[in-house]
Amino acid sequence: MNKIDIRTVNVVQYIYPLREGGSLPAIVKADDGFLYVLKFRGAGQGKKALIAEFIGGELARAIGLKVPEIVFMNLDDSFSKTEPDEEIQDLLKFSVGLNLGLHFLSSAITYDPLVSKVDTKIASKVVLLDSIISNIDRTAKNTNLLNWNNELWIIDNGASFYFHHNWETWKNHLTRTFPLIKDHVLLQKATNLSEAAIEIKELLNETKINEIVSSIPENWLLSEADSLSTYEIREAYIQYINTRISNIDLLVKEANDAR
């Protein structure tokens, strides 16, 4: 199975935590000289939040939305030994291994629905993407969108695919729509949903979806609490996304009705 090209880098410096995030992501420097926002495998939602972040980000990129480069980041055990803050020390200790990083967009500002402008086609794509991936966290209270260089950038997809926290019942979600889209921060500006849906169906074909899901690190899929094998979990993500896209007209209607 083909994979998408994701770089792997090593963390060389822990710079500071981003305390506005509940999972305490951090700004770090990697051995390629760049700064990244590091999402930790040892944080509250664990590796599943990294999987959601990865799939959501790469699906967004595939449909033409702006997403910071996503990399896999190796964290060794030396950082926890020099960290004075006990909470961060524990987080670093539990996150040794492969984590996820997003290229840090210096001087980016948080999207403000009252001030920021956004193209209606882009807004429509973001709304449909979040319906597809069941992202419950792109609201006016927490937009998880940035303005950088006069463009809208997608970040923080970690609250998506919430069904994966209980694999016993995941198939129950296949035929559901996404009523929580009514709270989406871009819903009022998403006036090109039908046009966006056509483009998404063309761009998110089965090959692209398989490539993205195949690129999830095997270790992130391993959990003693899960009843499925890693192969079955990959197949479940693929089936879920394909089913959502095949039902995209229902998602379009739901979003239009909510708007």
Do 91 and 115 fall into the same domain?
A: no
Looking at residue 227, what is its pLDDT?
85
Do 166 and 118 fall into the same domain?
A: yes
Q: pTM of whole model > 0.85?
A: yes
Q: What is the mean pLDDT of the chain?
A: 95
Instruction: Centre a 10 Å sphere on the Cβ of residue 148 and count the other Cβ atoms it contains.
Output: 15
Looking at residue 223, what is its pLDDT?
85
Do 131 and 242 fall into the same domain?
A: yes
How many angstroms separate the CA atoms of 116 and 251, rounded? 25
Do 99 and 121 fall into the same domain?
A: no
pLDDT one-digit tens code per residue, 142-175 = 999 999 999 999 999 999 999 999 999 999 999 9
Angle, CA of 67, 68 and 71, to the nearest 5°: 120
In a domain, 195, yes or no: yes
Number of domains in the chain: 2
Looking at residue 83, what is its pLDDT?
81
In a domain, 236, yes or no: yes
pLDDT one-digit tens code per residue, 217-227 = 999 999 877 88
Do 168 and 70 fall into the same domain?
A: no
How many angstroms separate the CA atoms of 36 and 23, rounded? 16
Mean pLDDT of 227-253: 97
Q: Which domain holds residue 54?
A: 8-103
